[in-house]
Amino acid sequence: MMTYKEEFITFMVRSGVLTFGDFTTKSGRKTPYFINTGNYKTGAQASKLGDYYAACIQENLPDGVDCLFGPAYKGIPLAVAAASSLYRNYGRDLPYCFNRKEAKDHGEGGSMVGYKPQAGDKVVIVEDVVTAGTAVRETIELFKHVADVNLTALVVSVDRMERGTGDKTTLDELRDEHGIRVFPIVTVREVISFLHNNPVDGKVYIDDDMKARMEAYLAEYGARA
């Protein structure tokens, strides 16, 4: 029996979301692997994806959550899928919300869609992959104009375990600077450990050469603190 983490890694590979080769990140880093959550595109994938996020939330945040927030755009379906799975699998009926990129100037107006966060709410941000933490910092700034909430945690699909602006990982920076707990479904170390010479549908995605390339990448860009 695979753990939900191992199932999730297999799911990412089968969905064409976790790929290996030669890529360049937004920050200009040359990376041997890439995670593109934009490749999720079917109802079955959305349902399964929600299950993995829900399992991570249930494991790490079994209570004390008032709302899930999905930053536009990629975070929107993630928050909706996670909320659906939390109800379906664990009986937790949590409200969700997301932001508009541009505030609505007619009707009820405002920048938020869905649940209207209230002062004191414990809000969990649901994101795909955090590299520089830009979207999370934008979320922190956004909520200053919405309500005095407690941004209590960030749930992401994969922790790339890369440095942010200093020697720490971006996720550690968010913990230290803003007091936001961070829970990845899996880390890149778990991906390497599970997929190394372990075939998925008959194909080995991380052989000895790819493992060496990923280790070299982490040695160059991984956290130093």
Residues making up the annotated binding site for orotate are: 131, 160
Using an 8 Å Cβ cutoff, are 68 and 128 in contact? Answer: no
- Quick one: which of 225, 217, 224, 223 has its CA closest to 25? 217
Answer whether the bond into residue 205 is a cis peptide, omega within 30°. Answer: no
Please enumerate, by residue number, every residue annotated as part of a binding site: 26, 73-74, 100-101, 104, 106, 127-135, 160
Sequence letter at residue 59: E
Helix extents (H) in the chain:
4-14, 43-60, 75-90, 134-143, 170-178, 188-195, 208-221
Compute CA 147 distance to the chain's CA centroid, rounded to the nearest angstrom.
23
Q: Which residues have a catalytic role annotated?
A: 104, 106
For residue 192, the SS3 value is: helix
Token pair of 225 as six digits = 């603190």
Q: How far apart are CA 98 and CA 71, in angstroms?
A: 6
Please enumerate, by residue number, every residue annotated as part of a binding site for 5-phospho-alpha-D-ribose 1-diphosphate: 26, 73-74, 100-101, 104, 106, 127-135
